[in-house]
A and B are shown apart, each in its own frame.
Chain A
Amino acid sequence: MGFEVIEVEYIVETKNLTKKFGKDTAVEGLNMHIRRGEIYGFLGPNGAGKTTTIRMLLGLMKPTSGSVHIFGKDLNRDKLNILRKVGSLVENPSYYPHLTAYENLEAMRKIVGCEKARIHEVLEIVGLTNATNKKVKGFSLGMRQRLGIAMALLNRPELLILDEPTNGLDPSGIIEVRNLIKSLPHEYGMTVLISSHLLSEIEQVATTVGIVTKGKMIYQDSIEALRRHSQHHISFRVSHGERAWRSLMAAGIKTQFEGDVVTLNDHTDDDTVAAAVRALVREQISVYRIEEDKRSLEEIFLQMTTKERAV
């Protein structure tokens, strides 16, 4: 029972986590790192292996190889102690339709062992107080989703794992849940893992993102680092691509070229653009077009995930 609180670098750490179903590899060599207090956005297209990964984090599935450490403890050895401090909502919310919202939470409370008042607390948090004594059978999809979140919060988890938590919610519900998730780290000291196939969803809450596609982690960094990728590109369509590239290089401006298009990546401030134009004119290279190409995070995400798919 003794579960000493030790400061660990990562709340969740997986090493080469792999899961195979027969010949299919659902998750391959996944290394996930989640720090305390983070809201970790776990992104990927449908079928990328997000849910399989989450199931392995919760000990619902055994990895084919690799390891999972949560709170610095091996999930294989300390499963029950770890799960005591984890709350989860995996895929569609699960509930007992013939029981009321209160009874559903009570069935769970008996196992996790918190006080009864906590049931009303979590119902209040997700805005289901009015439906306390209604059978879940008659709940709308959004209400079921809220109940699922209430269940995940019941044991005051240190790590909250939410798989697609805004599924089925209406716009105002989405905003409510988003605000709730945002408040969890500083109000309750929780660390949150939230998965989604929509970047826009993650972008607004996450502090760190992990992008997974075809079972592999292809990107893992802070949301700011991802945003930097979305900064502008300035492309020049010129008469001689390679010459332009060389002369710009000589002028100390880093670019890439492809055919007759030269692209300016890192520094796209006005001065650099002006200097580049000057250099091109000096070299007597005709500049046909200067275009600004603003990529949204969504495009980056799409590009990252489809690039991998093409391999």
Chain B
Amino acid sequence: MMGKLLRVELMKIKRKGFWFLTFLGPIGVVALQVVNYSVRWDYLKTLSDDDWLFYLQNVSGFTPLALVLGIAILTSFMASIENETNAWKQLLALPVRKTHVYLAKFTVLAGLLFLASILLCVATLAYGLTLDFGSGVPVFELLEYSFFPFFASLPILALQLWVAMVSENQGLPITAGVLNVILTYSAYSLPDWAIWKWTTLMNAWQEPLYNGLMGLAVGLVIYMVGMMDFVRRDVK
């Protein structure tokens, strides 16, 4: 049943701009560095000893914002597919489990974001290679900066999906999305336990892995709570 539902969800996101946004996010983040490095490459060279690492940090400066913004837009698109004509009653009167429907939506969103992370990795590497940093590619750091933010952002995805799936007023998920983006924007001044800081991969231990693991764990918990709430509620 899950396989069928996933295929149905993939079919329903056609012509909605999901794929476009998935590509736009990572390409946009790298494009900012294309501008940055084409304008002042000579200056940027003087700022650091390890040009590759410095470049990765520059790219990742925008990754959290793009990711959280993407989550806000994609989740609200996702919920709007059914909310638009109140198709929940149609979908959930079919022989499907509500838990499966919720999981299918979450999986498609997480899948799109993961795909965006892969694209980010590829685009970062591709542009980095053209810059001739004069040293080998720091593979581990590249993967770290490309994929840990995704895992670290899962709590925000779970939270945002929950709000979008259960609220009758679509102003609510938009408000939540704006708040998430603002909080991520101010991540530097947030304490380590705030989920919005995690996507920046900063913490007191200087260990990005912690952010990824915490994101995975807390994301799972919020996902479960959101799903149970969705199942418990009467269909709109």
Contacts and interface: CB of A to CB of B under 8 A. Distances in A.
Contact of B86 (A58, A61, A88, A92): A92
A111 B8 contact: yes
Interface in A96-148: 96-99, 103, 106-108, 110-113
Nearest to B86: A94
Task: Indicate the size class of the contact surface on chain B.
Answer: 20 to 34
Contacts of B40: none
B93 A111 contact: no
Interface residues of A, number: 31
13 contacts: A60-B234, A61-B235, A80-B97, A91-B86, A95-B87, A96-B12, A99-B11, A99-B12, A99-B14, A107-B12, A110-B7, A111-B5, A111-B94
Contact of B4 (A62, A83, A111, A151): A111
Contacts of B14: 98-99, 103
A55 B89 CA distance: 8
A81 B97 CA distance: 11
Nearest to A154: B94
Nearest to A86: B93
B220 interface: no
Nearest to A80: B95
Contacts of A110: 4, 7-8, 11
B95 A94 contact: no
A98 B87 CA distance: 13
A83 B89 contact: no
Given A95-B87, A98-B14, A106-B11, A112 B95 contact: yes
Interface of A: prevailing SS: loop
Interface in B91-133: 91-97
Contact of B81 (A90, A93, A96, A151): A96
A107 B16 contact: no
A251 to B, nearest CB: 59
B38 interface: no
A97 B84 CA distance: 8
A182 interface: no
A103 B11 contact: yes
A84 interface: yes
B5 A60 contact: no
B90 A151 contact: yes
B89 to A, nearest CB: 5
A94 B85 contact: yes
